[in-house]
Structure 1
């Protein structure tokens, strides 16, 4: 069928020049008057509207087919009148046109004419053709079918975010978790005993621990990062006898390399040696006496001592017992390198202030469904800025991380937004959404878990598209000590990884701590721990602030809150 319309080859030539200028020349040669390039670009907006998971549900698509049939019926009843479909009808309409010969025949049979799909009408300002015909289509739908024209999950949900937010590369995302680290490995070791020692070394394990660190677990001050340097079985090593001593030694050609913070404070070397009796007695063989015995030695070093010992090629010595000693040679096989590490951020408090919504809403709010302020609506809103702080520099002082969060609330619009900035650029946005956008998504459990609740939701997105949806409601169900407890019930659906997180605030133990994979946040102290494995730190930061926003929005309050406050006082 392709060859009947054009001499252009059907198969794609990957070596051909497909630049925009060349494409325009090709269209001109083919005599195509329609602006195909602009039409293709407009499809980006359409694809964004139909990209949520419910557009792949069989039951939803069946409803789409039914409403598309009703739309064609309305077209027949109203003649040549311009009618605007919802996106559930539009996706079927697009699919129908993929088979152009069949589509043309069907339209001729149903309508007696070819129904033109004009997607160039996309101006949504009040009084525009799209705006007025949308209203008239909704009235006609109600008139003929006695149904609501609007369908949850099938309505316009704003422009796609691509090009409106900072395009964060993976390298930029990782930069917040990078730290210059010292590369350490073990070259060799010796286990030295006196020649008459009653026990012989059978195994050695050497680990290195960072002292005084509580990274990754603010509630557990005893937590310290620990690295295993090596573990070796000594029973197959023949000792060297020298000056009334026995020496078990080995060079480690493929020793593990560990990365240590350059400003790491202090370190501890821990050697564990398993000793066995040189001449086991009958009691030992029968199990009445201890045959294996594990002894250990721990030695602390400040960073300067630790670094200088390695740099000068000196050995670290640890006395396991009066008769057993371990000597270890460490080296720096490579220069300091940038490595991904776990990071702790502290949320800096901020104060709300009044601001004015500009005529160009995107300039303040970012890519949200509302492109223009409705006529007669108050253009004042409230905002607050929080910076994320972290320790850094030689003295580990608290400093700005380069990440900040901007919260905006508009009571007249019923709209809230969370914006994560990298420097001065908006990178991620979370904004409130309703049933018109997410009403058909079964992953959110709106018809089950949240069916009897006044739920609220936020959609999180970056420059690549939607990242996830957070839903919250207020409950009074749990019992602690016989008393009912009120709490926020949350469900977060990660659209990127098709994964759900369910949690409450406070949790069953009354704590305000959230955990997402290996990252966590203490909502009371404002301490955020991001795991070294985290792939999208700005996503998690936006999610954390969206949780706190919804926690406040879903809380019930008296109808006359001012009288209620006066009575409390």
Structure 2
């Protein structure tokens, strides 16, 4: 950036198109960005001792080596730290040239090397280095052992350390994918040529480039010999580059110069200077946010832990135990004393079993019971029992993975006022498949000023407020939490700035920042060559973009738009609420992820779910489920709120809907209205559905349809195009689809736009013979009209229906003999009424007889004559609304009564035919409805019969299993090497358990058949056994109580059908939620007790569980009996 103030314009015969360069700047710019990525990934080359060491190595080692080997035939590549210092030195071309000439008498050249060229160059250069500096390391891999001599004084009269620090933010500004796109770079080179041409025209000015120009300028500077020769030829001098002016506050030199540069540019080139996708992006977030470690995520997940009891002490406050008091202690019925004792403490030696496992997904609380018995007579005992509880998640919250922690202490308060002191060791299993669910807790929105959040919003690029506007915004604070961890999300909306932001905190530390971005950072599709590799935004369809940033930089960009919205139309075309389409670009993988939220389907299922990586999100209730291996949970929370915010910003609303009114879509089903209440979706509400937001609805209502928010140069700009046809309007012209968009409503005699958007009044007028302006498209169904001047000017084109697909025609000049106007769309236009008749359906041509571009019809003559075209073509366009037809009728009445009659006459013959057909269709619909109801009743009867048959079959299947049992966690036999012996003799294993553990006396004649089921896990198997008689089976099952507390955790269960296992699973869920007290099985029947004293109930179907309070799961039939 060259210092100075803009003064006198210097004339020059050199046009910017004639400027040529000796370097392929497109290829070199791509290589520069790749090199900057390497430096940025290194992370420690912007400041500190490593930078000072690199400057010393650059001056004392590299420049002499380069001087000896600086030619194109011997390509040398510097180590990364030295190459970065060299890079920053060359960005000050005058200082670099002065230092090179002072030290070596010549300019040392440079070419950017990356990839394979750089790797080969490093190998070659390391050999040269070892020859010249055998005692100095080529790569500074150990900065702690490298010392700069105390007497070192730099010979370079340029502060390289400060220059390196200033360049720390440049890569972030050009790191988005479009900066490596060929078309974008080619356009940037054209703007760079204009930049140099403007410097030639205003030599004393301080010109501030946008970042697309600055990237090409830097690339040119990194080829110092070519840069010097090119600038000498173009400007007559070696053009300097000053990057020391970085103050962007209002009134600073940079801001003043930016405004002056825009004025000069627009004066010289008749176009805007601020460029799409090339503006300041703010400070990079690297190192300013909190990373979520895997241990932090693991702490919040459900897990399995092995707990080893070291000692237990019972402390009684204020009373003494009697000498004949005997005590037993139980911990979830797994640990107990072998014998009652009157002592008050126990150790692992006095416990039958001193360790046990706890699964936090099943067990929330560990119950400890202390039974005390005291003799009160010769035969009687007074037995009391007290309880205490330990919360499992509190116990496991801060335990890291695979680390055994000894001497943990906890105190358990008992119900009688005494307490237990427990000393234990604990280990958490790393291999368990743990998950966690974050539950959403909605907060409230409140109004505040931005200055209250200025510290948190440091990484949000906020545009400058207009003068006299208060910095008021609304902020909502919501929480996502489980038992051990809380994420807090702040949603900010600022109407004056047209800005929304999302801040995600983990344990009160900022982890992720999201903000709305627009055309200041992202290009439109027409500006890039490869749309699949670039992130673009489509302003025509009012796409909105949200940038997601974490501690490593830009994490992703979410693009959302509302698609498929359609109002009710004539001709039987139904309405459609449309749906949100979101695509997420990952900056790490350079890939896209797509989300589609169909409104009707989502409401029918009452579900707004999506999955990203290993995280499952339900927007309806706000729950987020993730696994222990995830370390991007904060980013996924940000994606969830970003999608919700995009829904709020993009969703269409009624024009009269106030910000705090909930919108509802309506769908006609069997003559009933079904309400689509979006306000019931938790995360849509949390994102600001009922708040004032910078939504598409707000922008269109306040500013008009032709505006799109863009935050350029620190200020909010509403882009509406310019007369040059370049830049914004040119992009829209190339990108618009179908009919017109309705950008402009009124144009004056010079064709300049004024007025509001083209909702209904869409006319372009002119006077004194000039041509009429282009009429803005109507916002619904009627097209705009361009009227000719009063003294015979040609009529302008009609705006081809406003964004809805129906066409409206353009009218010709109507007073003074104007020629017929051309038209676009289905309606067609009329010829001028003063001097010639107009065409009906197609539209008269301008200039006497030229053909229209509508849907057919006659040509209007100039100065009289011309025939009226038929309106059959207009009628055949079914989507043309009656409203548009009536508007056209009123206009044509002013032009020619004969034309009106020619329009109305065909309707006399069409209407009776339509009425007859409508009556026939209605009768057929009634008959079809009767038949349909009949089939529905038959289907219902068949389903009832089928359910009964299935119930009988299931009962018979369970009866066939009445002699079978399942043995679980049976240790598999192993040899001396620890290998499992196969085939496994399951009969022997079952008999061993029955005779040794269950204290029975069975032999092989009692077993009909046995075999293993499932896979061998941790050396244990499950066995299914069919006994020869029900009596033998029942004897074994009743003896299972002897297995309590066994070290192998063997247990016996009944062999149930799949249906009954499903019922057990659902009952277990109810028991975890304390909805029921207990449940068990008996002879294949499932019994449940809702409370401890309640009567047992038999469970036969899911309907029985629903009556107890169970949830309806996906695929359930609530009518099942």
Task: Tell me the secondary structure at the aligned position of residue 511 of structure 2.
Answer: strand
Hey, what's the Cα distance between the residues in 2 that align with 1:456 and 1:177? 34
Q: Distance in 1 between matches of 2:282 and 2:252?
A: 17
Residue of structure 2 in register with 1:379 after alignment:
471
Residue 119 of structure 1 and its aligned partner are, at CA, apart by 1.0
Contact 1:173 1:537 in 2 (8 A): no
Aligned-CA RMSD value: 3.7
Structure 1 partner of 2:824: none
Q: Is the 8 A contact 1:506 1:513 kept in 2?
A: no
Matches within 5 A, 1:218-233: none
Kept after mapping to 2: 8 A contact 1:373/1:379: yes
8 Å contact kept, 2:299–2:484: no
Corresponding residue number in structure 2 for 1:342: 435
TM-score (structure 1 length as normaliser): 0.65
Equivalent residue, structure 2, for 1:34: 158
Q: Does 1:164 align with 2:252?
A: no
Residue in 2 that maps onto 1:388: 480
Confirm or deny that 1:521 pairs with 2:609.
Answer: no
1:41-440 equivalences under 5 Å are 41-166=165-290, 168=291, 170-171=293-294, 174-175=297-298, 178-182=301-305, 262-265=359-362, 335-338=427-430, 341-358=434-451, 362-370=454-462, 375-390=467-482, 399=483, 401-440=485-524
Q: Note the alpha carbon deviations across 1:15-51, whole angstroms, 9 max, x for none.
A: 587589967979x622223221121122121110000
Q: What is the number of residues matched between the two proteins?
A: 415
Judged with a 3 Å threshold, the aligned counterparts in structure 2 of structure 1 residues 384 and 263 are, in CA distance, closer, same or farther, namely same
State the SS of the aligned residue for 2:468: coil
1:484 partner SS: coil
* Deviation digits for residues 525-552 of structure 1 (CA, Å, limit 9, x no counterpart): 1111123443411111111111111111
Higher strand share: 1
d(CA) in 2 for partners of 1:563, 1:352: 13
1:68 Cα offset (Å): 1.0
CA distance in 2, matches of 1:261, 1:58: 59
Q: Which runs of 5+ in 2 are unaligned?
A: 1-61, 68-99, 105-128, 308-356, 364-391, 393-425, 568-572, 665-1121
Task: Assess, with a 3 A threshold, how the Cα gap between structure 1 residues 366 and 176 changes in structure 2: closer, same or farther.
Answer: farther
Secondary structure at the residue paired with 2:200? helix
Residue 320 of structure 1: aligned partner: none
User: Is the contact between residue 75 and residue 83 of structure 1 (CA under 8 Å) also seen in structure 2?
Assistant: yes
Shift of 1:264: 3.6
- Once the two structures are TM-superposed, the CA of residue 102 in structure 1 deviates from its matched residue by 2.1
1:13 aligned residue = 138
Query: In structure 2, do the counterparts of structure 1 residues 20 and 335 end up closer, same or farther at CA, with 3 Å as the change threshold?
Result: closer
Check conservation: 1:45, 1:160, Cα contact below 8 A: yes
CA deviation string 1:193-215 (max 9, x = no partner): xxxxxxxxxxxxxxxxxxxxxxx
Q: Which residue of 1 aligns with 2:545?
A: 457
Q: 1:2 aligns with which of 63, 74, 83?
A: 63
Whether 1:487 aligns to 2:579 is yes
How many Å apart are 1:375 and its aligned residue? 4.0
Question: Cα 1:530–1:24, aligned 2, differ >3 Å: closer, same or farther?
Answer: farther
Cα pair 2:302 2:435 within 8 Å, conserved: no
Whether 1:497 and 2:589 are equivalent positions in the alignment is yes
- Kept after mapping to 1: 8 A contact 2:292/2:631: no
Question: In proportion to residue count, which structure has more helix?
Answer: 2
Give the TM-score taking structure 2 as reference length. 0.34
Deviation string, structure 1 residues 421-452 (Cα, Å, up to 9, x no partner): 1112111001010011012573498879x464
- Tell me the CA shift for residue 374 of structure 1: 5.2
Question: Partners of 1:443 and 1:261 in 2: how far apart?
Answer: 50
Distance in 1 separating the partners of 2:154 and 2:553: 35
Secondary structure, counterpart of 1:438 in structure 2: coil
Cα gap change, 1:564/1:344 in structure 2, threshold over 3 Å: closer, same or farther? Answer: closer
8 Å contact 2:488–2:506 — kept in the other structure? yes
What runs of 5+ residues in structure 1 fail to find an aligned partner?
185-259, 267-303, 305-333, 391-398
Q: Secondary structure at the match of 2:217?
A: helix
Residue of structure 2 in register with 1:396 after alignment: none
Deviation at 1:521, TM superposition (A): 1.1
Q: Is the 8 A contact 2:626 2:633 kept in 1?
A: yes
Seen in structure 2, the aligned counterparts of structure 1 residues 526 and 563 have a Cα distance that, compared at 3 Å, is closer
Rounded Cα–Cα distance in structure 2 between residues aligned with 1:126 and 1:156: 15
